[in-house]
């Protein structure tokens, strides 16, 4: 079952432009499915570098002149290369083909950021346009629900289908939003398979981690601390690892789209925490499978932290789909006043308190410091996590 993606229009924009398209995202978020859907009916050629025959076919084409190389692949209008990180010289080859003005578009799909590919980013500097594809947005997952009419507004759904929205929200909090998980009758089983070595396969295959068990132990600690400030020194002590090693593992997990970090916002280091960070999972299902905690009971003991991770991930996913125009932070003073999410876009600031319960939000300290009201995001309206709704191509 194909679920309509917000990323369809940005991908179409890439295909009508003159840049090499680079689509990045964790394994199993639907990169290939998205591209196949948008290119349906077009003479496109797909190569998957997890398949040795496809890799050899491309290398043979690369030994020819650009025009002959493309001809050997069938002269496609679009050449799509999946798992491009398996062959780091791909970017250099595609750069040469792009500069030869061949009558074809090139799409490179990868499950790790280009930083992990060494010289790849440098090879395509000024010639690429990136699209980061995260797990499904909540609004996208609603395509699986018969009660969620595609034309219905969020306010209509919250007003007339509140019990269904609430129950479905708990499903997404517990099992996350990977496409196959969303459409499966056995989401926990799928998540267990996904959260094995498969999800961080790129880190392991790159040879950058010698002992996979350390990555798993680190992820378990992060799962317990999601939404809390994370001390790298404490992580290093608990894991009996050197701090630089923990920093490197965190970087790798971020580059492979398993986690992301939220830094602290500060313009007054004397009164505000300036160097702290929080770690969140792009998908709450991955966080929960690490803890083996799949309860859909809204009274589960970790509901506050789970809701905060889910909301901030929804904001981060939309921001990524827009090309990351905003910077995301949390805020805390040395006297313990706190705001869960600060969004900075150019000179504009927004601030949000993320509360599962309908408790009143104060935000006076942040308002006094920055003249910005703190807005609540509560569980009775999960659509409030769409803080970018005023931007044109995000519905």
pLDDT in tens, 104-149: 999 999 887 755 454 455 678 888 999 999 999 999 999 999 999 8
End-to-end C-alpha distance for the chain, whole angstroms: 21
- Using the predicted structure, report yes or no on whether residue 290 has a pLDDT greater than 60: yes
Q: How confident is the model at residue 195 (pLDDT cuts 50, 70, 90)?
A: confident
Mean pLDDT confidence for 194-223: 77
25-47: per-residue pLDDT in tens? Answer: 988 999 999 999 999 999 999 99
- Burial track 209-220 (b if 16+ CB lie within 10 A, e otherwise): beeeebbebbbe
Q: What is residue 121's predicted lDDT score, i.e. its pLDDT? A: 53
Mean pLDDT confidence for 295-312: 96
11-15, 162-166, 278-282, 346-350: which has the minimum mean pLDDT?
Answer: 346-350
21-30, 207-216, 382-391: which has the minimum mean pLDDT?
Answer: 207-216
Domains observed in the chain: 8-132 (3.40.50.300), 194-385 (1.10.10.10)
Mean pLDDT confidence for 37-61: 96
Sign of the C-alpha dihedral, residues 180, 144, 21, 119? negative
Sign of the C-alpha dihedral, residues 177, 195, 315, 111? negative
Q: How confident is the model at residue 391 (pLDDT cuts 50, 70, 90)?
A: very low
- Burial track 35-64 (b if 16+ CB lie within 10 A, e otherwise): beebbeeeebbbbbbeeeebbeebeebbee
Identify whether the C-beta of residue 359 lies closer than 8 Å to the C-beta of residue 374. no
- Using the predicted structure, report yes or no on whether residue 324 has a pLDDT greater than 70: yes
Angle at 260 between CA 346 and CA 10, to 5 degrees: 60
42-51, 278-287, 385-394: which has the minimum mean pLDDT?
Answer: 385-394
pTM of the model: 0.93
């Amino acid at each position: 079952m194909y679920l309509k993606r917000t990323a369809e229009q940005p991908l179409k924009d890439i295909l009508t432009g003159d840049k090499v398209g680079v689509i990045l995202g964790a394994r199993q978020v639907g990169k290939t499915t998205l591209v196949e859907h948008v290119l349906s009916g077009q003479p496109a050629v797909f190569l998957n570098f997890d398949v040795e025959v496809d890799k050899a076919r491309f290398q043979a084409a690369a030994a020819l002149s650009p025009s002959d190389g493309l001809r050997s692949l069938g002269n496609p209008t679009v050449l799509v290369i999946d798992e491009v990180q398996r062959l780091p010289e791909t970017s250099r080859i595609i750069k040469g083909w792009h500069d030869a003005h061949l009558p074809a578009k090139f799409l490179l799909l990868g499950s790790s950021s280009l930083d992990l590919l060494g010289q790849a980013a440098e090879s395509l500097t000024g010639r690429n346009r990136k699209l980061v594809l995260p797990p499904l947005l909540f609004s996208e997952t609603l395509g699986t629900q018969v009660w969620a009419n595609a034309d219905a507004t969020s306010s209509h759904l919250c007003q007339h289908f509140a019990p269904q929205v609430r129950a479905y929200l708990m499903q997404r909090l517990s099992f996350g939003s990977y496409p196959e998980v969303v459409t499966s009758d056995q989401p926990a089983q799928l998540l267990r398979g996904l959260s094995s070595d498969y999800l961080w396969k790129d880190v392991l295959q790159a040879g950058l981690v010698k002992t996979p068990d350390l990555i798993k132990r680190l992820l378990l600690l992060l799962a317990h601390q999601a939404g809390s400030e994370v001390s790298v020194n404490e992580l290093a002590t608990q894991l009996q690892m050197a701090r630089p090693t923990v920093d490197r593992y965190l970087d790798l997990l971020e580059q492979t789209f398993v986690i992301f970090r939220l830094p602290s916002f500060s313009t007054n280091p004397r009164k505000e925490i300036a160097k702290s960070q929080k770690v969140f999972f792009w998908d709450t299902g991955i966080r929960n499978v690490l803890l083996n905690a799949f309860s859909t009971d809204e009274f589960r003991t970790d509901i506050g932290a789970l809701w905060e991770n889910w909301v901030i991930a929804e904001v981060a996913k939309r921001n990524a789909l827009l090309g990351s125009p905003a910077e995301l932070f949390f805020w805390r003073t040395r006297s313990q006043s706190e705001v869960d999410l600060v969004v900075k876009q150019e000179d504009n600031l927004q601030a949000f308190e993320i509360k599962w319960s309908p408790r009143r939000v104060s935000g006076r300290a942040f308002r006094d410091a920055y003249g910005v009201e703190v807005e609540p995001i509560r569980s009775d309206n999960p659509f409030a996590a769409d803080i970018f709704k005023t931007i044109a191509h995000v519905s």
